[in-house]
Chains A and B, each alone.
Chain A
Amino acid sequence: MKPAPFDYHRPISLDEALDLLSNLENAKILAGGQSLIAMMNFRFVQPDHLVDLARIPELTGIEERDGVIRIGAMTRQRDLEFSDVIAQRLPLVKAGLAHVGHRQTRNRGTIGGSLSHADPSAELPMLALAQDATIEVRSTRGARRLPAREFLRGYLDVAIELDEIVTAVEFPCWRAGHGWGFHEFARRHGDFAIAGAAALLELGEDQTVERVSITLNGVDVTPVRLTSAEDVMRGRRLDAELICAAAAETRHLEPLEDAHAGAVYRRHLAKMLTQRALGDAAKAGALIASV
């Protein structure tokens, strides 16, 4: 299990990286390497060139501006996990991060790497979708901004070109005091989820659902928003019955089967976990709203 040979490049500026990518054949971007190198060791992936982004300073950092949290693509998951800004402004992301792999992989894994790998059971793509994040990508041809739902195109597939690099992710914050809930089920701690649910809620007067986001992972080729459930909830008074009705919308899902789990089970989990995530979101939201 040794990787096939490749040439290694370590640009020190974004422009240099973009130049390399536009000129090299069969090149891959090396971010944290926590998925890529494993796949290279198995020789499932055999790039001729690796472009390591680790020494490009402008690709790391977390900053807040106008209610938007901008995260450099090479920011390590561990730094997100311990960021105060994220804890305060994106509590759902903070909760989800605890489920990402293990301490050793979070130390090295990056947000841009995880999004670009786009594993349908992973947490970060799901969180980006849940929060309606925007992905910023660059190439020598210029910059583009894609909403997460367009970026996450298919199974391990994202809507960027071979010469493009994800440079940053922007998470718009929800109103202070919004409710959130994150539940996933994995066979073991830190494993990829069989299924998971993330919920965000903003409640108005009288516990009316003003804004809601329900996102699932592990049930399709990409993470999915359960928009029909969101429609069910919006404008209605939040109570247990409404949560059940929303969770029941998981019946329309048609999950994939693989060696880890069948479709029926994934759908079952989706329902149970949606219920739990919404339950938590309702509690958190209601509590804060009532203070």
Chain B
Amino acid sequence: MRVNGVHYEREIEPRMTLGDFLRHEIGLTGTHLGCEHGVCGACTVLIDGRTGRSCLAFAMQEDGSEITTVESLAQGGELNILQQAFQDHHALQCGFCTPGMLMTLTELLRDNQNPNETEVRETLTGNLCRCTGYAAIVEAALDAAQRLAAAREA
């Protein structure tokens, strides 16, 4: 399995979920588990470029897949545009849901460069946040879309 561009090989039990594999086998604890039954979205990662719940996948299934996690976003330690928008808009409080939010929005902003508020909100229904009341996350996503557009033009 490749995770964030790095190749990993491990002997594991078939029942180990992808989430546990990322967190405990290869030490990428940025991906969080909030429910382990596929509702909260905290465990969201990109699997071959598409978001998926890492609690609803066994690591074995992804043998050979390319996994992208929150740890990959900040290139060279610098927050990327979406992450920066999160900080600027106070889109995280406890930060537990945040990695999942970021991965969901990373996919959305890639596939839809100019989403409206409804599209952002509907996309975010796959991720629960108990702290923020979502408003700041929605603002951050819309702002990031604009900043990304500006960056593309420049």
The answer on direct contact between A and B (beta carbons under 8 Å) is yes
> A30 to B56, alpha carbons, bound, how many Å?
11
User: A37-B56, A104-B44 known; A189 and B125 CB under 8 Å?
Assistant: yes
B125 touches A1 (CB 8 A): no
- Size of the chain A interface, CB-CB below 8 angstroms: 30
> A37 to B62, alpha carbons, bound, how many Å?
14
B125 touches A108 (CB 8 A): no
The minimal Cβ–Cβ distance linking A42 to chain B, given in whole angstroms, is 7
User: A1-B37, A38-B56, A108-B57 known; A103 and B14 CB under 8 Å?
Assistant: no
Q: Which residues of B contact A101 (CB under 8 A)?
A: 126
The minimal Cβ–Cβ distance linking A7 to chain B, given in whole angstroms, is 6
- Size of the chain B interface, CB-CB below 8 angstroms: 29
> A285 to B123, alpha carbons, bound, how many Å?
30
B52 touches A190 (CB 8 A): no
Q: How many A-B residue pairs have CB under 8 A?
A: 86
CB of A22 closer than 8 Å to a CB of B: no
Question: Which B residues between 23 and 68 are near A, CB-CB below 8 angstroms?
Answer: 36-38, 41, 44, 47, 50-53, 55-58, 60-61, 63
| Closest residue on chain A to residue B54 by CB atoms | A104
| Contact mask for chain B residues 103-126; partner A; CB cutoff 8 A; 1 contact, 0 none | 010011000000000000011011
The minimal Cβ–Cβ distance linking B102 to chain A, given in whole angstroms, is 13
> A117 to B83, alpha carbons, bound, how many Å?
38
CB of B15 closer than 8 Å to a CB of A: yes
Binding site for A on B (CB under 8 A): 13-15, 17, 20, 36-38, 41, 44, 47, 50-53, 55-58, 60-61, 63, 104, 107-108, 122-123, 125-126
Which 5 pairs across A and B sit closest by C-beta, in order of nearness?
A102-B126, A8-B14, A189-B125, A107-B50, A1-B36
